Chain A
Amino acid sequence: MTNGEHRVERATRASRLGAIAGAVVLAALIALPMWGSSSHMRLLVELLSMLTLAQMWNLLAGYGGLVSVGQQAYLGLGGYALIVLADFLGLNPFLSVFLAGFVTAALAVPTAALVFRFQGGYFAVGTWVVAEVYHLLVANSAVLGGGLGRSLQAMRDIPRAQRERVTYWIALGVGVGAIALVYLLLRSRRGLALTAIRDSARAAESLGVDVFRSKLLVYLVAAFGCGVAGALIYLNLLRILPTAAFSVNWTASMIFVVVIGGIGTLEGPIVGTLVYFALRELLADYGTWYLIILGAVAIVVMVRAPQGLWGLVAERFDLRFFPLQRRVRLRDA
C-alpha cells in the first residue's frame, strides 16, 4: 500500500529468510517417505497432530483470551466423527479427517451457547465439564462401542505402506494447514481485532471491536482444528477408546506446549512442540517424574518468563518469522 508519504510493510528480513527456510524444510518433509523410515513417519504424525492442537489452544488462549480445559471434547468427537463418517457412512477415510472438523465445529455452536455464560476461570472448568459430558455420552452409547471403544475398519483394505504414507501426508497437510489457517485468520481484519483483544479486551471493546463475535469465531475455529487433529490421531492409531480420547491429558499437553513455547505468537507453538517431544525422548525412562518435571517447568515459565521460549528470543533479537505486524515506512527513511 503506497501513498506518496509512506508505505505499510509486513515482511521483515527475518520473515523473508524464514519463508525460504520454511519452504526448504517443507520440501524435505514432503519427500520424507522416500528417505525416512516408518517410525519417522509415525513420530512426525504425532508431532504434527500435537502442533495442530497447540496452534488451536494458542489461538483460543493467546488471541481470544479463552482458557479452555476442555478441548479434549473436540479431539474425542473428531476421532469418533471419523469412525462415523468412514465406517458408518462409508466416506473416504482421508476426506473424513477433514470433514470431522466440520462435525466438531457444528457441535461447538450449542456448546458455546452454554460455556460462554462463564468467564475466566469458571469458563475453564465449564469447558472441562462439557468435555466430561461428551465423554460420558459417548462411553454410554453402545452403537459407538461403549466403554470398550471401536476400531477404524475403513483402513483395513489399504496396504500398510500406502496407509502409512498417506496418513503421513495428510498429517503434513493438517499441520501446515493449521498454521496457515491461524496465520491467515490473524492477517485478516478479524485477526487485527483478535490481536487487540489479546493485548486488552476492554480497550478493544471501547474501540468498537465486537469482542463476543471474535471470541465465538475463535472458539469455532479451534473446535474445527481440534476435531481434525483428533480425527488424524485416530486415523493413525486405528483404534479409539473413550477414556483416552476424552482425556484431559491432551489439553495438559496443549497447555504445556503453548506455555513453554510462547503464548500469543505463531512461532511459539512450533517451538513448544519441538521442546515437548525432545523432553519426551530425554525423560522417556522416568515415568511419572517426566510429568512432574513438565508441570514444574510450566509453572516456572509462567512465573518467570510468561512470554515463553520464543517470546524471550523474539524480544531479545526482535525476530518475527511470520509477518503479522504492519510497519509504516516513511518516504525518505
Chain B
Amino acid sequence: MSLLSVRSLAAFYGDFQALFDVSLDVEAGEIVAIIGANGAGKSTFLRSVVGLNASARETIRFDGQPIGGRPTHEIVARGIALVPEGRRIFPSLTVEENLLIGRHHGRGGRWSLARIYELFPVLAQRRAVAGPALSGGEQQMLAIGRALMSNPRLLLLDEVSLGLAPIIVHDLYRRLPSIIGEGTTAVIVEQDVSQALGVCDRLYCFQEGRITLTGTPRQLTRDQISAAYFGV
C-alpha cells in the first residue's frame, strides 16, 4: 500500500480548473519529484493533498485513509508537512518562534529545536530575529526547519529554489537527501529540472493540469522530458 495514493484528482479555483484527473502514488521512503512549467498545477496538487484546496473524499488517501475534503489542520496532524511556495514565514514571530510553532501539533522523532539548529547553524545565530529580516536562503532554511519540527512522515516541498541564488539552491539540494533522511518520504515540486533529477527516485511531469510523463531519472531522456514539460 502506497503512503500517498491519489486517484482522479480534480482542482478548481472558482470556475477555473487547474487539475484534471490526476492519479499518482508515492511509496514510503521514496523521493518523488513533480516537475512542470509555471501554471502546470504542481503547487495546486500539493495544496490539494494538504487540504488547502477542496477535493473529493476518496481522491486522496494517506496511509490507506481517505483525507480528501478534510480540514488542513487535521490532515497535517496525520504526519504530513508542507514547505509552502514563497516560504510563508510568520513575520510577527522570531526565527525560534517560527520553529516552535512548527511543532505545535507534532509527534516525537529525530527533529528537535537543537537538531534543526545543528542542521542550519545560521538559524541558531539568528534565533531571536524576526522573520522578515532574514535573507531568501535563510528563510527557506527556516521554512524547511519549521516543517521538519513536526517530524512528518511525508514532507512536501513546494518550489524551494524559487527566488534563490543558484549557489544557494545547489547547496540546498546537495543536503536535501540527508535532510529528508531515512524513514521520511518526500514529494518535491520543482521548476529546476536538473536539480529535481539529481535528487529524486521517481518523477512525474505535469502539463496544464495533467500528468504527461512518469518514470525514473535513469529511464527518461532529455527529449522525453522536454516534450512532456512543454507539451509539444
The reply, when asked whether chain A contacts chain B directly with Cβ atoms under 8 A, is: no
| B contact set with A: CB distance below 8 Å | none
